[in-house]
């Protein structure tokens, strides 16, 4: 980068604008004005100061653009060159739906300054508590409906995206620090209660006892699996429950990668949602997700059952049947899309869940069936393996986790395992420690 001065001829005298020259960027010369002075000496002094900072790698020049323009620059120069298509599409959706409408008009100099901390915090508050005050037209019913406030985790993704934008401009030496790291996402009262400290214990009444997070047992999982037997969702649900695969991995399984003779499947390819379409990726996002897995004999029986179902469907659909290289397909042979897996599971499960809940109410008994998603069947696989003595490192590799700490989270989820720990303590101390009441 070089610094230059341009003389501006005025009606009375001249003014002098100091420019920074970035050289050739995207096939064109890029120059930006820094400051304009009324006399040449001041301009020369400023030019020397800036050039010295550039030479010492300490020069910072916050561009005179809007936050919307900063987002576009980040998307073009960083995201498009470094991120996968589905990730870029996710960023693009957040930009167009939230970031640009809410923050896009604000000067980048303001939002990247300490003043931006309050602005971004207000943005978080809006997403968490004020969205429900707005209405939109439902595309399917054409009726007006209220928006939903975003969860803490969803807003955390927004925070990560804003932080990524500011980090990019830091790497370009255009801002000195990332103020987003000092912003805080607000919590609901219920979220605050989970880690609140009670000082006045004498006057405190516990209104709510927080139990362990809802967790499905293998017995309950079998009930759920039976809802999908002999349907196009049978294979996906069993892959999640019996092998612990993610939905993108399930949708991406190729028939050629399943070896029934040794009960082995290679998880290398995935299908992911990218905007309004599903794309096929020939490799996983990271090395740990690419793996060869042995699957249980119960899974082999499910695969063979689905093959029989598909053979019947070929006869049923005739020439309209689609021959696909993918293992998990609809009745007509069309590959299952990732959003279909989640949406169809939800429809079938909610019908069962509501029916069981109403039945329990009629019989005046407690209803304790957990509300689950397809992904929670993967959680069940990981947790139950750990609870039944599988090695942590083996489960980590099987699940495709890059960090063993991620796998360790599941050691806290299995209720039966927790009870066994208490029973083990009894076995150790009961013979030694006698208590008479």
The band of 20, judged by pLDDT with boundaries at 50, 70 and 90, is confident
Lowest mean pLDDT among 229-233, 242-246, 379-383, 411-415: 411-415
Residue closest to 248 by CA, chosen among 223, 233, 267: 267
What is the pLDDT averaged over residues 39-61?
86
**Confidence at residue 172, expressed as pLDDT on a 0 to 100 scale:** 84
**Confidence at residue 211, expressed as pLDDT on a 0 to 100 scale:** 42
* DSSP assignment of 178-227: -GGGG------HHHHHTT---S-GGG--------PPP---HHHHHHHHHT
pLDDT at 205 over 50: no
**Confidence at residue 422, expressed as pLDDT on a 0 to 100 scale:** 66
User: Are residues 49 and 3 in contact, defined by beta-carbon separation less than 8 angstroms?
Assistant: no
- Residues written for the chain: 437
Task: Specify the DSSP class assigned to residue 106.
Answer: S
User: Are residues 281 and 272 in contact, defined by beta-carbon separation less than 8 angstroms?
Assistant: yes
Residue closest to 341 by CA, chosen among 355, 329, 327, 353: 329
Tokens in use for 183?
Answer: 């912003």
What is the pLDDT averaged over residues 400-424?
69
Q: What is the pLDDT of residues 270-295, one digit of tens each?
A: 888 776 677 777 666 667 788 899 99
**Confidence at residue 207, expressed as pLDDT on a 0 to 100 scale:** 43
Lowest mean pLDDT among 5-19, 135-149, 402-416: 402-416
User: Are residues 89 and 50 in contact, defined by beta-carbon separation less than 8 angstroms?
Assistant: no
User: Where are the strands (E) in 252-358, listed by range?
Assistant: 258-259, 264-267, 270-274, 277-281, 291-294
**Confidence at residue 59, expressed as pLDDT on a 0 to 100 scale:** 74
Radius of gyration of the chain (CA): 29
Lowest mean pLDDT among 6-20, 192-206, 418-432: 192-206
What is the pLDDT averaged over residues 230-234?
95
What is the pLDDT averaged over residues 413-435?
63
What is the pLDDT averaged over residues 70-80?
94
CA distance 325 to 337: 14
The band of 254, judged by pLDDT with boundaries at 50, 70 and 90, is very high
**Confidence at residue 194, expressed as pLDDT on a 0 to 100 scale:** 64
**Confidence at residue 421, expressed as pLDDT on a 0 to 100 scale:** 59
Q: What is the pLDDT of residues 116-140, one digit of tens each?
A: 999 999 999 999 999 999 998 887 7
**Confidence at residue 201, expressed as pLDDT on a 0 to 100 scale:** 47
What is the pLDDT averaged over residues 145-156?
92
Lowest mean pLDDT among 242-256, 351-365, 385-399: 385-399
Rounded to the nearest integer, the mean pLDDT of the chain is 86
CA distance 242 to 226: 13
pLDDT at 30 over 50: yes
pLDDT at 34 over 50: yes
Q: Based on the number of CB atoms within 10 Å of its own CB, is 345 exposed (0-12), middle (13-18) or buried (19 or more)? A: buried
Query: Inter-axis angle of helices 374-387 and 218-226, to 10 degrees?
Result: 150
What is the pLDDT averaged over residues 227-234?
95
CA distance 364 to 370: 18
Question: Between these two residues, 282 and 97, which has the higher pLDDT value?
Answer: 97
**Confidence at residue 212, expressed as pLDDT on a 0 to 100 scale:** 44
**Confidence at residue 401, expressed as pLDDT on a 0 to 100 scale:** 87
């Amino acid at each position: 980068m070089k610094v230059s001065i341009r003389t501006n001829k005025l009606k009375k005298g001249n003014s002098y604008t100091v420019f920074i020259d970035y050289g050739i960027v995207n096939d064109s010369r890029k120059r930006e004005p820094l400051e304009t002075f009324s006399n040449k000496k001041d301009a020369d002094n400023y030019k020397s100061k800036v050039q010295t900072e550039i030479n010492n790698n300490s020069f910072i020049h916050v561009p005179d653009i809007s936050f919307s323009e900063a987002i576009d620059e980040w998307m073009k120069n960083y995201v498009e060159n470094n991120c996968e298509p589905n990730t870029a599409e996710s960023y693009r959706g957040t930009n167009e739906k939230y970031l640009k409408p809410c923050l896009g008009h604000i000067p980048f100099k303001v939002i990247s300054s300490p003043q931006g901390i309050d602005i971004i915090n207000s943005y978080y508050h809006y997403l968490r508590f004020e969205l429900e005050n707005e209405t939109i037209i439902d595309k399917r019913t054409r009726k007006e409906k209220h928006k939903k406030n975003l969860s803490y985790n969803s807003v955390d993704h927004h925070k990560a995206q804003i932080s990524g934008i500011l980090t990019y401009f830091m790497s370009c030496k255009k801002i000195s620090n990332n103020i987003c790291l000092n912003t805080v996402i607000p919590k609901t009262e219920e979220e605050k209660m989970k880690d609140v400290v009670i000082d006045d214990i004498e006057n405190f009444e516990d209104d709510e006892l927080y139990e362990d997070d809802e967790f499905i047992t293998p017995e309950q999982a079998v009930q759920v699996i039976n809802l999908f037997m002999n349907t196009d969702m049978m294979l996906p649900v069993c892959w999640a429950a019996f092998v612990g695969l993610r939905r993108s991995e399930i949708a991406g399984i190729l028939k050629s990668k399943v070896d029934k003779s040794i009960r082995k499947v290679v998880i290398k390819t995935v299908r992911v949602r990218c905007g309004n379409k599903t794309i096929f990726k020939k490799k996983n996002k990271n090395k740990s997700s690419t793996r060869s897995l042995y699957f249980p004999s119960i899974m082999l029986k499910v695969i063979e059952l689905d093959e029989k179902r598909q053979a019947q469907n070929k006869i049923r659909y005739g020439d309209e049947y689609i021959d696909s290289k993918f293992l998990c397909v609809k009745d007509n042979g069309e590959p299952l899309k990732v959003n279909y897996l989640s949406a169809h599971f939800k429809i079938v499960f909610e019908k069962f869940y509501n029916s069981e809940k109403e039945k329990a109410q009629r019989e005046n008994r407690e209803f304790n069936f957990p509300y689950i998603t397809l992904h929670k069947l993967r959680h069940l696989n990981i947790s139950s393996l750990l609870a039944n003595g599988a090695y942590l490192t083996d489960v980590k590799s099987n699940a495709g986790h890059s960090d063993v700490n991620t796998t360790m989270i599941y050691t806290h989820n299995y209720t039966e395992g927790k009870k066994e720990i208490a029973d083990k303590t009894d076995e150790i101390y009961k013979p030694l420690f006698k208590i008479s009441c």
